[in-house]
Each structure stands twice: as C-alpha cells, then as structure tokens.
Chains A and B, each alone.
Chain A
Amino acid sequence: MTEARPGAPRRVAITGAGTINALGHDVAATFDAFREGRCGIGELQFRDVDRLSIRIGGQVRDYDPEAHFNRQQIALYDRFTQFTLLAARQAIDQSGLNFNGNLGYEAGVVLGTAAGGMNTWDDNYRLVYEEGKNRVHPFVVPKLMNSAAASHVSMEWNLRGPSFTVSTACASSNHAMGLAFQMVRSGACKAMVTGGSEAMLTFGGIKAWEGLRVMSRDACRPFSANRNGMVQGEGAGVFVFEDWDHARARGADILAEVIGFAMSSDASDIVMPSQQGAERAISGCLRDARLNPEEVGYINAHGTGTAANDKTESAAVAHAFGQHADRVMISSTKSMHGHIIGGTGAVELLACILALRDGIVAPTVGYEEPDPECALDVVPNVAREARVEVALSNAFAFGGLNAVIALRRA
C-alpha cells in the first residue's frame, strides 16, 4: 500500500450500515422489503390518534425498548436516540472497527435530525399543560436535545473526534453524511459514524404537519399523477465512513465508496421547492465526484409524493442529466418507509447500496398513473435487476436546503 501524501484527498469507504425503520429492524429486512416492493405504511397507533385527520404513517412495529435498553437508559434515551443507537450498533459491528484505542481520537459522529426528541417534548407538554403537573422528570432536557443521539453514540463507542448534529429539515441526514464524507476525504478523520434519525410520529408531531395540508390520508404515491401528498415515517440509518486505505489495510468488507457531495440553497421560499436549486445540487455533486451524467445508473429521489416536489425534482433531474435523463433509473423509497424527515436520507442511502452491491433497484411503489410532468423511469412498483456503477441520493428540504451525495460500486 502506498502512503498518500499529506493533504491529498483520501478515498472514502462505507464499511458498516445499520437501520431500524417501518420496513424492518435491520439492513437485511429493509433490503428484503426493497426487493419485494413491500410497503411499510399503515394505520398509526399512538395516544389520541383519533383526534387526527391524518392516520397513516410508516411506524416502526413490534418495537420494545426494554428488549434493547435498561431502565436507566430508557430514562435518558428519547425514541430518536434509541433508533440511532440500534442502527449505530449494527453499523459499527459490521465495520469491525474498535475505537477504544487511538482510533477513537481520529473518529467522530455527525448525525441529522429535524425534530430531535419530539416524543419527549410531546409527553412532557402533555404532563404540564394537559394534566396540570408542576414537576417533570429531571432528564427532560438531555433527553430532548437534537444533539443527544450524537452524544450517546460518541459515549457508547468512545468517539472522541468531531461530533455534532445538523438540522436541515428533510435534508438533515444528507447534510450530515456529506460533512462526514468531507472530514474523511480531507484526512481530518480516519472514520466517521454518520446518518440520521427521526421519531416524529406523535400526536403533536402529526398535528403540526396536518396544518400544512400536504399530507396524504391514504398513500404515498411519488411521481404518480394521482399522488396527493406525503406520508410520514420514522426510524434511523447509520453508517461507518472510513478512510479507504485504512479499510483496505485491515481487510474490511467495503459496501460502497462515497465519491461526491454537493449542497445548495434555493434562497427563495420556506416551503416551495426550486428546480434551479435542486439542479445546482445535482450538478454540483456530479462535478465533485468528477462524473459524467451517463455514469449514473440510479438516483434515489427525494420523491415525497407531493405535487410540488415530484414535478420540480423531475424537471431538475431532466435538466441536469440532459439526454441521459431517459435512461437513468430514479425511484422514491419513501413510498415504502414513508418520509423519515431528518433521518430519511440515511435510510434511503441503503437503496443506493442495494443497487450498487446487489444489482437490485428498489421500486417506487403505489405508482398508478403516469404524470407527464414526471416523465422519468421511476421503476414503478416492481424492483429491477441492473448493474449500477454509480448512484446518487437526493434530498431537497423545506426552506430550500439541498444536499446530494454520490456512491460508487466498490
């Protein structure tokens, strides 16, 4: 192995992946659902759901916190932190890395979340406002902090380098993973634990979303002409990004290579997306990864299932890819796991890994009617076998914060 000169960009390997979401409690179960085109969206089950007009979501089922955490931990871990820790454990176990020695000083954790400890806010507001209690549990603050999950990951695995949380609404995870990628590529860190988590399926969380009137009451049908809004999910996705040479030297199994990342801001509207802003992020990512559009085989779309996003994203992809837009496959797995908001980019990166590693392109399920404004190959309803060399993952958040990441087959 030749030693790269100091300061030269490093290659970045993904050596571990973990998840818990509506499709399953680990990567294998999620891959199975992607292969089968299985939808994890169903009736929401939580307190006061009968007072909501939106009653469907991609909820994590059959989840028992006590099977994973002791009583003291549960007192400190909001649901979004629990999801993060479970996904991080899978990813770090798979990577085989041990951070207890010097490596711990050269490794950190960057995670995305939009709402952080929403369950903790919701439960405790209920106690003081609705039930009139004048005392709350002493750990309410450390439990609800947006950065709590990153801190607990750092503590659990002795990650002593740069650790923080980014919050850019629906692009949080992509921004987090992009920053982690840049830190490994620049040589600032040997490894980063990165991804994101969201657990907003609570009465207050969904009530707030209802107000915007962009939620569907029946299904998430991205790119389909009869789509009528987004469906929210919950869960986490966490990865280990590692210096390529470091991973190779220890004989690690490399799941994929991270090759590019770009961000842009629309600077225009707090909810409406901009084609130009999205396009600049896509083109910027291609440039960062030194890719021609023809090299990209698959795009995991932002694909929320709202009228506005899907047509804007389709136009942005069509323009950024030019003639190749007719050949690239693009699917929205939100149709299966729901929109996991700040954690969604992380769970969706799994679909890119599945495409690159196993040659299976996850479908856009719930697709019923072609929409001339979304005239791309959206891999409707059924997964497809294809050899994919490069995959992109799009995230375009409310407020015009865009982040696109590129992976290559390892």
Chain B
Amino acid sequence: MSDSASVKDRVIAIIAEQAVLDPEQVTLDSSLEDLGIDSLGLVESIFAIEEAFDISVPFNANDPSQSEFDISSVAAIVAAVEKLIAGQTA
C-alpha cells in the first residue's frame, strides 16, 4: 500500500476526480492549472489527500508557492506526499 506506485495512483485518482478526468488523462508532468483545477479544487484535493493517507499537509492558500508542499506538478505532489508519509513512519 505504501509503495511508490500505489501512492502515485491514489494521488492521481484524487486529482482526476477533482478535474473530472479519467486517471489516464492525468500525466505526471501536468500542472493543476493544466488540468483545470482552481483554488477551491486545490484545497479540496489537499483535503482528500490528507484523508486518504492520514497525513497533515502544510499548505496555506494565501501563498501556495511559499508553502512547504510543492504543488507545481502532479509528480511534485506525489513526491511531496511520499515524503510526508515517510516522515510519519520514520
């Protein structure tokens, strides 16, 4: 469950649901903006990620770029989630 592929697939599934896309359409290099996710969709995605992985994501909607959580691409989000999961079990 905590292997990399499944974290990736689950994050993609969450993002795909927000973007109302099929998971296959969500590529690792796409940004949330590319996928049509707005600020509310972003906050909802982060909530869904926190619930799915039982983690706490450091994210302030006032300045997403300054948050410790990198949301610049799907790959970046997957990596950040993996890091948070690792930090929790360490």
Contact = CB atoms under 8 A, between A and B. Distances in A.
Contacts of A264: none
A308 B66 CA distance: 15
B43 interface: yes
A212 B61 contact: yes
Nearest to B57: A213
Contact of B62 (A53, A271, A307): A307
Nearest to B40: A271
Contacts of A53: 56
B62 A272 contact: no
Contact of A214 (B47, B56, B62): B62
A92 B14 CA distance: 55
B39 interface: yes
Chain A's interface: helix, strand, loop or mixed, by majority? loop
Interface of B: 39-40, 43, 46-47, 56, 59-63, 66
A306 B62 contact: yes
A227 interface: yes
A228 B58 CA distance: 13
Contact of A307 (B43, B46, B47, B63): B63
A228 B63 contact: yes
A132 B66 CA distance: 43
B62 A229 contact: yes
Nearest to A270: B40
A211 interface: yes
A206 B61 CA distance: 16
Contact of A212 (B43, B63, B66): B43
Nearest to A306: B62
Which residue, of A212, A213, A228, A229, has the highest number of chain B Cβ atoms within 10 A? A213
Contact of A228 (B46, B47, B62): B62
Interface residues of A, number: 15
10 contacts: A53-B56, A213-B43, A214-B60, A214-B61, A227-B62, A229-B60, A271-B39, A271-B40, A307-B63, A308-B62
Nearest to A230: B62
A136 to B, nearest CB: 30
Given A214-B62, A270-B40, 7 more contacts: A212-B43, A213-B43, A213-B46, A214-B60, A214-B61, A216-B62, A228-B66
Contacts of B66: 228
Nearest to B59: A213
A163 B56 CA distance: 46
B47 A211 contact: yes
A272 B39 contact: yes
B40 A213 contact: no
Contacts of A270: 40
Interface string A210-237: 0111101000000000011100000000
A272 B56 CA distance: 25
Contacts of B63: 228, 307
Contacts of A227: 62
A224 to B, nearest CB: 12
Contacts of B60: 213-214, 216, 228-229
Contacts of A306: 62
A308 B38 CA distance: 14
B4 to A, nearest CB: 27
Which residue, of B46, B47, B60, B62, has the highest number of chain A Cβ atoms within 10 A? B62
Nearest to B67: A213
B20 to A, nearest CB: 18
A306 B39 CA distance: 13
A270 B40 CA distance: 9
A216 B66 CA distance: 13
Contacts of A228: 60, 62-63, 66
A243 to B, nearest CB: 44
A15 to B, nearest CB: 40
A335 to B, nearest CB: 15
